[in-house]
A and B are shown apart, each in its own frame.
Chain A
Amino acid sequence: MNLFSAINNALYTALDTDPRSYVFGEDVGFGGVFRCTVGLRDKFGRSRVFNTPLCEQGIVGFGIGLASMGNRAVAEIQFADYIYPAFDQIVNEAAKYRYRSGNMFNTGGLTIRAPYGAVGHGGHYHSQSPEAFFCHVPGIKVVIPRSPSQAKGLLLASIRDPNPVVFFEPKLLYRMAVEEVSEDDYTLPLSSAEVMREGSDITLVGWGAQLTIMEQACTEAAKDGISCELIDLRTLIPWDQELVEASVNKTGRLLVSHEAPVTGGFGAEIAAYITERCFLRLEAPIVRVCGLDTPFPLVFEPFYLPTKNKILDAIKAAVQF
């Protein structure tokens, strides 16, 4: 099963197991521009799977109202690049709904799905990784899966989590990533990172599609005798600080990599936290291999991206520091 099919399967399961669940967004009715909702309207009807007007703040605001009535509202934002009109609804409304009402009301049933990241030809507005903006917002969770089976389990967990979740899907992997995905109804835990590859010389932390690149770098590094531990953070807030801290205490080195611009990216938060916690254990400066501080470019995409060899160079530099 590829990643879009796994998402589709998760949405199917969510709709099938809870009659009070809804899937909606721009072009969702016919299956969505990435085919994630294909077949759902036919199966569950037009009142539970439906198109909305082209208006992101409306989609999220509507979802907040629907979720606040005790429903599971799964809202699709067609591209993460277009989520900004909904920023106020996410930051000032969804995230604070429970807190500001003293827990009288909540919008925990809301999940906002959005495809994110580079695809090779997306330019400014079909490539962005805006996760860091949302990681600055107490009250929401930010979840990013790396593969089809992870996507299904994490999406179902997000939909059923009693807190609003922003769920970014690596659109590069929609068709590219294929693996066995169980047809069963299963969830994976939120706020729980996963060690994808154990190692002893350096810890690498990433999420989403970037893990594929990082994994290649780990394999290359191994040829040079460098043992890398690779961690998929999976949930960015609230994030699994303990697991990352334990890994760095073991390896003594940390590299964080993401496609989003390096300045103010979530890698900075991880670096700062680990510096506070593991200062005496660190054997090299924490290194970030990330996107450049430019708008996401088109023809310059290969220069912009944190590619395998950039990561490999950084691994070697850290180990030889």
Chain B
Amino acid sequence: MFLNSWLWRSRHLSRSPLLLLRSRSIFLASSCTTELLASQNASEHQHSRKLPSTVPRIRPWWNVSWSSGYRNPSMEAEKKVASGEDSYGNESKQASSTEFLDFPGGKVSYINELQFLSESSPVRVPCFQLLDEYGQVAEHACLPEVDKLLAVKMYRNMVLLQTMDTLFYEAQRQGQFAFYLTTIGEEAINIASAAALSNDDIVYAQYREPGVLLWRGFSLNEFANQCFTNNLDYGKGRQMPVHYGSSKLNYPTVSSPIATQLPHAVGAAYALKMENNPACTVTFFGDGASSEGDFHAAMNFAAVLEVPVLFICRNNGFAISTPTAEQFKSDGVVAKGQAYGMRSIRVDGNDTLAMYATIKAARVMAISESRPILIEALTYRVGHHSTSDDSAKYRKQDEMQHWKMIRDPVFRFRRWLEGQRWWDPEADKQLRSESRKEVLAAIRSAGPLKKPSLSSLFTDVYDSVPSNLKHQEEEVRATVSRHWSDYPSDVPL
């Protein structure tokens, strides 16, 4: 009780060197101006740093820098503490008059007031945006280099993804296959991320990123074959629909458990680093995944082992029905990056250009500096979680409609394209009509194909079929021959 009241009366709370470090460290350089965005906490502080006049006003859009580019923060901090500087090069009055504790990882300064770090920054981490909801370029925004060819390709892929989702969803509802799950509302995250990456980058996806595969050249037939789990499904009919994968396209096959792919991305990034391969790994996950232990494991391993991996969180507001307010108390997912010693950014996930610029810049940093980057893309899951879900039971229709109509990333990007005179309603009509035909053709061609043959049940458990499985295959075949009517007729024996 005493402690609490004493603490809350402390007028010096915000002058804690630790708080100073925290607030300084959320400085972000925007993409083409060097204007620093600081938290209110920092700007009120006497040591708030104004931008030196010598810093050039214009930088290439991709030259996103952190306020300090050191590789080993603890060693660097140690030197600065020893020299009476804070971590950002400012002379620190507290530091010069205080003693230090030599501690593994760097010297720690003492203070003599009982102070706790705040549970959160007083200001939420801002969200990087280039295009507003009307597709207008934000004031002072500097756009990434996106020419007409690239922009139109991104848009076409977004529309095709949207069309595939709509028609595959309908096909599932008609009972043509067992399950489906859309990316509607998250097309920009899918396509812009993919466009900003190299095809050599290895993508450890969850299940709401088929757009990355689409961008890389996975055909509509390949998607349809997997959803129908027919004899052309690369997964040989073993997994539910939407569990895509492609070794050719550097996209390890998706599994259903949440966040398990995150540590894999870290291990694979370590392999890339060891091979001096100028590529990174990329892992996508949702807001719910950030609660899993594998998220913590992966973030911590990536930071400690200094590997080139992009953690792209699609914060779409819901883990099935659970809203983010019941998922975490922190300022979203972006706030967690710093605790792991990882650069992080929050971006408008429905802004194609902001997503593209972010991933492009993050990729350069990840590879050139061999470090992980956390990207929290704010978006909204416009569809149900899956075909097994009815989201009207837990969220308001007007909220859904608002995101669907007003914040639709595809429409926003289209308005920008039209503003550039790179696109027009006639082209749009034609694209949608073509996309619809292509998707329907893929469904028609994948649907009637046979299922994979029975032998696929027993192969690939190990590199070769062990004797117990050979024996079990014989038993199954014998049973089928006696009771053939118990078994599906479309599975070739």
Spell out A's residues near B (CB within 8 Å): 47, 50, 52-53, 55, 57-58, 60-71, 73, 85, 88-89, 92-93, 96, 98-106, 108, 138-139, 141, 162-163, 191, 238, 241-242
With contacts A101-B253, A238-B467 taken as known, whether A69 is within 8 angstroms of B236 at the C-beta atoms is no
Minimum-distance CB pairs A-B, first 7: A61-B263, A65-B267, A58-B297, A65-B264, A101-B253, A69-B271, A66-B267
Is B351 in contact with chain A by the CB < 8 A criterion? no
Partner of A100, one of B253, B274, B463: B253
A241 to B472, CA, bound (A): 13
For B264, B265, B296, B456, which residue has the most chain A Cβ atoms within 10 angstroms? B264
A161's nearest neighbour on chain B, judged by CB, is B463
A139's nearest neighbour on chain B, judged by CB, is B461
Partner of B269, one of A47, A65, A101, A105: A65
Cβ contacts A to B, 6 pairs, < 8 Å: A50-B305, A52-B301, A53-B300, A57-B294, A65-B271, A241-B468
Q: Are A102 and B301 in contact (CB under 8 A)?
A: no
With contacts A53-B300, A104-B253 taken as known, whether A238 is within 8 angstroms of B267 at the C-beta atoms is no
With contacts A47-B274, A61-B262, A61-B294 taken as known, whether A101 is within 8 angstroms of B467 at the C-beta atoms is no
A140's nearest neighbour on chain B, judged by CB, is B462
Chain A residues near B469 (CB-CB < 8 A): 238
With contacts A57-B293, A92-B257, A108-B463 taken as known, whether A102 is within 8 angstroms of B263 at the C-beta atoms is no
Within the complex, the shortest CB–CB distance from A275 to chain B, in Å, comes to 16
A96 to B243, CA, bound (A): 13
Is B255 in contact with chain A by the CB < 8 A criterion? yes
Is B48 in contact with chain A by the CB < 8 A criterion? no
Chain B residues near A61 (CB-CB < 8 A): 260, 262-264, 266-267, 294, 297-298
Q: Are A69 and B234 in contact (CB under 8 A)?
A: no
Chain B residues near A242 (CB-CB < 8 A): 467
Chain B residues near A73 (CB-CB < 8 A): 267
With contacts A47-B274, A66-B271, A238-B466 taken as known, whether A53 is within 8 angstroms of B301 at the C-beta atoms is yes
Q: Are B233 and A102 in contact (CB under 8 A)?
A: yes
Chain A residues near B294 (CB-CB < 8 A): 57-58, 61, 88-89
Q: Are B468 and A64 in contact (CB under 8 A)?
A: no
A57 to B297, CA, bound (A): 7
6 further contact pairs, Cβ within 8 A, besides A93-B257, A141-B462:
A61-B260, A65-B268, A69-B202, A102-B460, A103-B460, A238-B462
Q: Are A62 and B468 in contact (CB under 8 A)?
A: no
For A65, A66, A104, A162, which residue has the most chain B Cβ atoms within 10 angstroms? A65
A321 to B238, CA, bound (A): 48
Q: Flag the segment in B72-80, B138-146, B244-252, B323-331 that touches A.
A: B244-252
Q: Are A99 and B245 in contact (CB under 8 A)?
A: no
A70 to B202, CA, bound (A): 14
Chain A residues near B260 (CB-CB < 8 A): 61, 88-89, 92-93
B113-127 vs A, CB cutoff 8 Å, 1 = contact: the mask equals 000000000000000
A41 to B116, CA, bound (A): 40
With contacts A99-B460, A102-B234 taken as known, whether A55 is within 8 angstroms of B300 at the C-beta atoms is yes
B457's nearest neighbour on chain A, judged by CB, is A99
A302 to B301, CA, bound (A): 41
Within the complex, the shortest CB–CB distance from B273 to chain A, in Å, comes to 8
A1 to B239, CA, bound (A): 47
Within the complex, the shortest CB–CB distance from B210 to chain A, in Å, comes to 16
Is B272 in contact with chain A by the CB < 8 A criterion? yes
Within the complex, the shortest CB–CB distance from B11 to chain A, in Å, comes to 39
Chain B residues near A92 (CB-CB < 8 A): 255, 257, 260
Chain A residues near B338 (CB-CB < 8 A): none
A66's nearest neighbour on chain B, judged by CB, is B267
Within 8 A of A (CB), among B326-379: none
Is B155 in contact with chain A by the CB < 8 A criterion? no
Within the complex, the shortest CB–CB distance from B282 to chain A, in Å, comes to 12
A101's nearest neighbour on chain B, judged by CB, is B253
Q: Are B255 and A100 in contact (CB under 8 A)?
A: yes
A46 to B84, CA, bound (A): 33
Chain A residues near B239 (CB-CB < 8 A): 100
Within the complex, the shortest CB–CB distance from B339 to chain A, in Å, comes to 13
Within 8 A of A (CB), among B467-486: 467-469
Q: Are A99 and B266 in contact (CB under 8 A)?
A: no
A93 to B247, CA, bound (A): 17
Chain A residues near B461 (CB-CB < 8 A): 98-99, 138-139
Partner of B252, one of A57, A66, A105: A105
Within the complex, the shortest CB–CB distance from B107 to chain A, in Å, comes to 23
Q: Are B245 and A105 in contact (CB under 8 A)?
A: yes
Q: Are A68 and B247 in contact (CB under 8 A)?
A: no
